[in-house]
Structure 1
Amino acid sequence: MVSAVFHSPASPSTSTAAEAAKAPSTPATPAARPAPVPRAPFDWAGLVLKVLPPLVGLGLLIGVWALLTLKQGTGFPTPLQTWDAAVKLFADPFYRNGPNDQGIGWNILNSLQRVALGFGLAALVGIPLGFLIGRFTFFNRMASPLISLLKPVSPLAWLPIGLLVFKSANPAAIWTIFICSIWPMVVNTAVGVQRVPQDYLNVAKVLNLSEWKVITKILFPSVLPYLLTGVRLSVGTAWLVIVAAEMLTGGVGIGFWVWDEWNNLNVQHIIIAIFVIGIVGLALEQFLMLIAKRFSYE
């Protein structure tokens, strides 16, 4: 008798496991990394076009200045003499030798303090006044003739009024800055309010919004570019006015410092003061332009 032995076929799972055990192990494929984003090349041409023209203009100014002062006996200092005087002047800009003998640094800071006070008061009054004039026809018709009458008045004409009212030079200078720098903010803010699309205001009427919400949610975002333009013009006017006001009122300030140097016949320091006044005014304007670029109509 022959006995036959029957082997049952292996199950698929068992066979697969056995084959996987016998198969050589392969390393796991690493996850594909995203290709690095290529960096844009630096725009050297754009940098040159931004930097080169101002340098050329400044070089032309200094070159013409040097040519005009080549002849001796003109009484006007050369660029090199003015540079040497500036190095000595800014070596110690914050010295104090008395109430009327202080370094140019203190004079600049005192002028900036007066500008900040006068300009800040003008903004507190001028911006709300511009909203009222632009929003309501009655205020517009009432204030427009007054603005047209007072805006062209010279800053020096306002200074005696300040001296008469305040009996002191410092508040009189601040008053002059205030009254001269308020008009650009009033006019630009009012124009911005008047140019708000009527559709926006119609939607506010449909939604029955309060006047406060109309101002904060509709008018203010739309008027902001105009408002910042007025602020930029006003700060330039304020810095322009303070020099003239301090020449007449005295004390400590860049305007008084210029006048004092003229009395001492120090023309080099006067030229240095002109450059300092221009640089500070440019810095103030550029600072406000940077703020304005962060806001848009949208």
Structure 2
Amino acid sequence: MATQPSVPAEPAAAAPSAAPEPIAAQPGKVQAFLAKNTKVILAPVIGILAFLGLWAALAPMVDTSLGALPGPLEVAEQGAALYGEWQASNEAAAEFYAAQDARIAAGTQAMAFDYAGPPTFLDQVVTSLETVALGFILATVVAVPIGLAAGLSPIFNAAINPLIQIMKPVSPLAWLPIVTMVVSATVTSADPMLAKSFVISAVVVTLCSLWPTLINTAVGTASIDKDLLNVGRVLKLGTFQKLTKLVLPSSLPYIFTGMRLSLGVGWMVLIAAEMLAQNPGLGKFVWDEFQNGSSQSLARIMFAVIVIGLIGFLLDRLMMTLQNLVSRNHAV
């Protein structure tokens, strides 16, 4: 029986590519998007706007010796005025140096002098940041080794624990006169590399901010898994290798938590020390404006307070970012 030739089947038509589903047809994704942005962006914005609204509404009701409490607009205007003063100071300094260079080139002036204009608000901000940076670095250099030793040696920890508990609550206002006398007696040069006022403020920051780093480092070191240390003994690791390969990576979260706390404490301590000792910086700016007593002084003080808070927040975010970066690269 003859078989009929099979007819080849036609290829099936390719299914049309599915069009992307509109966002409106994805209620789950829309809700997740709104929930995420409400928590991260919308809620903080609403909170800030509500605070500014209450501030603007209640400020005129508060009378002070310098007039009504300034509202957000008045404070912002003084912030812009402070920035304008900084620009004018830079222009005056540039003109001074240009004229000085011309006199030196003409032979009417033998040597160059530095511009002696008063520091502006931004100059004070930079001075405070430099001071807290030096004090924080000194505190970290002192606190981390002592904390490591205290965490590894129960005897050493028992020996220094009473001293830590006594020194930790001491106010910066108590440290300031002692540090001032010691630094004044130590730095006797007529032209020191660092100004005495700068060194005094940095040392006060160091003495008041090293304790959170020291305590957290000791706690982190003492909580290392004993099996991990036993592995180091089996491998016959030296002291340096034990610290760098086992102890430090395991203690990093505690150390950075202490450093974040120390930096926050140092920033608060610095403002108080600058106000009391009249050392250059944001604290001195606030005190000078308070003593000035002009109609703009209160708005300038409030602007400085906002800047101090913002800088403290940014310093904390910086330390958090550094902690995440270092912890990611040094996981045990």
TM-score range (shorter-chain normalised) is 0.7 to 0.9
Identity %: 37
1:109 and 2:126 are equivalent in the alignment: yes
1:1-298 alignment runs, 5 A limit:
43=33, 45-71=35-61, 73-74=63-64, 75=67, 76-93=69-86, 95=89, 101-167=118-184, 168-265=196-293, 266-294=297-325, 295-296=327-328, 297-298=331-332
Does 252-261 or 43-52 show the bigger shift? 43-52
Does the aligned pair in 2 maintain the 1:133–1:140 contact within 8 Å? yes
What SS does the corresponding residue of 1:108 show, helix, strand or coil? helix
What SS does the corresponding residue of 1:132 show, helix, strand or coil? helix
Question: Closer, same or farther in 2 for the Cα pair 1:100/1:230, shift >3 Å?
Answer: farther
Does the aligned pair in 2 maintain the 1:188–1:230 contact within 8 Å? yes
Deviation at 1:264?
Answer: 1.2
The structure having more radius of gyration, on CA atoms, is 1
Distance 2:301 2:84 in 1: 17
**Alignment match, 2:104:** none
CA RMSD of aligned residues (A): 2.2
Q: In the alignment, residue 62 of structure 1 is paired with which amino acid? A: L
**Moved runs in structure 1, 4+ residues, more than 6 A?**
none
Does the aligned pair in 2 maintain the 1:66–1:78 contact within 8 Å? yes
Distance 2:116 2:265 in 1: 28
Does 198-207 or 89-98 show the bigger shift? 89-98
Distance 1:122 1:93 in 2: 32
Q: Which runs of 5+ in 2 are unaligned?
A: 1-28, 93-114, 185-195
Deviation at 1:231?
Answer: 0.8
Equivalences, count: 260
Does 85-94 or 53-62 show the bigger shift? 85-94
Deviation at 1:141?
Answer: 0.8
Q: In the alignment, residue 57 of structure 1 is paired with which amino acid? A: G
**CA deviation vs aligned residue, 1:152-192 (integer Å, no higher than 9, x gap):** 11111110111110124322111100101110110000000
Provide the TM-score with structure 2 as the length reference.
0.73
Deviation at 1:60?
Answer: 2.2
